[in-house]
A = this chain, B = another copy of it.
Amino acid sequence: MSKTVHQRRPPASVAVAVDLVIFTVRDGRLQVLLIERGNTPYRGQAALPGGFVRDGETLDATARRELREETGVSADSLHLEQLRAYSEPDRDPRGRIITIAYLAIGPDLPMPQAGTDASAAHWTPVSPILDRQIALAFDHEEILRDGLERARSQLEHTTIATAFCREPFTIADLRQIYEAVWGVPLDPSNFRRKVLKTKGFVKPIGERRLPDIGRPAALFHRGLAEILTPPLMRSGTASISREEM
């Protein structure tokens, strides 16, 4: 009768979790929020913050809740987007746990806060993790790499770079975000032109910031645009994956 055989089979229930890749730029370096695990497995090792989905809760709500619990900051002021699901059956020794990773981006936050869950959290530069000098629990290194690649890509095509900045910010602040996340130096004058030419990227507020040294810089707020057209390319002539012929 029914042709949809796949619907008849009783669904296997699995535990579903959310893990967060929370990025910020501190001291000119890209950093990620990690917690030190208090329980087995991977006790004492660094891991991405996360937790299980609750009944009646969307994954976005889980991510926002965990973000608040881990950082003490409401997610309203942060950029939050879904990365993807990780489902290797043996990715967690405790059993079958599928996790949906989220990418969160915010300005250099006042962290951690004692007396909250966030007290186990700490900002860690991303480079030593990529270089395997710091090991992460579970498959969190892979998730981190995917999150970094997403963040780098989003800098090209969207205005999320402003989510890294505390308002108001200068064009140089914004440029340093790109330099930290992409890991390449950018020409200040050309960068400035590209940002100002893109309508809706930033909005001048008519004030200036006095630096310790040098000429005062104009201050800006985020604009309303979310998509960069045209994209702000990282290294115009990159390499292709493979050759042939």
Chain A residues in contact with chain B, CB under 8 A? 1-9, 11-17, 35-39, 49-60, 66, 69, 82, 84-85, 87-89, 96-98, 100, 117, 119-120, 198-200, 203, 223-230, 233, 236-245
9 contacts between A and B (CB under 8 A): A3-B35, A6-B69, A8-B39, A9-B54, A12-B52, A13-B13, A59-B85, A200-B240, A230-B237
Contact (Cβ within 8 A) B88 A85: no
Q: Known interface pairs A4-B37, A52-B6, A87-B58. Does A16 touch B98 (Cβ–Cβ under 8 Å)? A: yes
In the assembled complex, the CB of A58 is this many whole angstroms from the nearest CB of chain B, namely: 5
Contact (Cβ within 8 A) A6 B226: no
Chain B residue nearest in CB terms to A70: B6
Contact (Cβ within 8 A) B37 A59: no
Report chain B residues within 8 Å CB of A199: 240, 243-245
Residue with the highest number of chain B CB atoms closer than 10 Å, among A37, A88, A229, A230 = A229
In the assembled complex, the CB of A117 is this many whole angstroms from the nearest CB of chain B, namely: 6
Copies in the complex: 2
Contact (Cβ within 8 A) A224 B200: no
Contact (Cβ within 8 A) B97 A242: no
Report chain B residues within 8 Å CB of A226: 241-242
**A242 CB contact (under 8 Å) in B5, B9, B15, B225:** B225
In the assembled complex, the CB of A219 is this many whole angstroms from the nearest CB of chain B, namely: 15
Contact (Cβ within 8 A) A4 B59: no
Bound together, the chains give a CA A130 to CA B238 distance in angstroms of: 36
In the assembled complex, the CB of A104 is this many whole angstroms from the nearest CB of chain B, namely: 15
Contact (Cβ within 8 A) A2 B243: no
**A58 CB contact (under 8 Å) in B13, B88, B225:** B88
Contact (Cβ within 8 A) B223 A244: yes
Q: Known interface pairs A7-B39, A13-B14. Does A242 touch B200 (Cβ–Cβ under 8 Å)? A: yes
Q: Known interface pairs A5-B69, A241-B225. Does A57 touch B89 (Cβ–Cβ under 8 Å)? A: yes
Report chain B residues within 8 Å CB of A7: 38-39, 51
